[in-house]
Amino acid sequence: MEKRMIKVLGTQTDLKGEKNTIELTTEGKVYEKNNHMYIVYEETEISGMEGATTTLKIEGDHKVSMKRYGGMDSQLVFEEGKHFTSQYKTMFGNFRMDVKTSTLKVNLSRQNQKGKIEIVYDVVISGLTETKNTLEISVM
């Protein structure tokens, strides 16, 4: 298990075109298990999810799973061109969350466990909100 600096840049655009961008740089852990690479980091108040832990499971170049625990639990699966439905668990109740990934680029080196993941996806939460999102995760 290696300690690495993790930089997360996320942009969310609602249907009105209003953008919200969050940038987080934090220390995290990178390790390999069962032929998959994992990236684990703690969220901060900058991301609005202070106290939550995010785990990314990289399954080759075509699939990335993201799990968040603590406060608001969620699981997202990103596979280019595919649709994924899950539950978004908050203190206000559970909501259906639909994710459709349009772009997934994984460029991580197994040798030095550094690189970048780029994801472009749409999210609909129980018909309440709909956003277009970009997520860039850099492992340094």
Model confidence over 43-57: pLDDT tens digits? Answer: 877 666 677 899 999
Between CA 24 and CA 21 the distance in angstroms is 10
Q: In 3D, which of 126, 123, 124, 127 has the Cα closest to residue 135?
A: 123
Contact assessment for residue 65 and residue 76, using Cβ atoms and an 8 Å cutoff:
yes
* CATH number for the domain that contains residue 36: 2.40.128.20
Q: Given this model, what pLDDT does residue 46 score?
A: 64
Q: Domain residues for 10?
A: 2-139
Q: Given this model, what pLDDT does residue 1 score?
A: 84
Model confidence over 82-117: pLDDT tens digits? Answer: 999 998 887 788 999 999 999 999 999 988 999 999
CB neighbour class for 8 (10 Å; exposed up to 12, middle 13-18, buried from 19): buried
Per the structure, the count of domains in the chain is 1
Using a cut of 0.75, tell me whether the model's pTM lies above it: yes
Contact assessment for residue 102 and residue 108, using Cβ atoms and an 8 Å cutoff:
no
Between CA 39 and CA 124 the distance in angstroms is 25
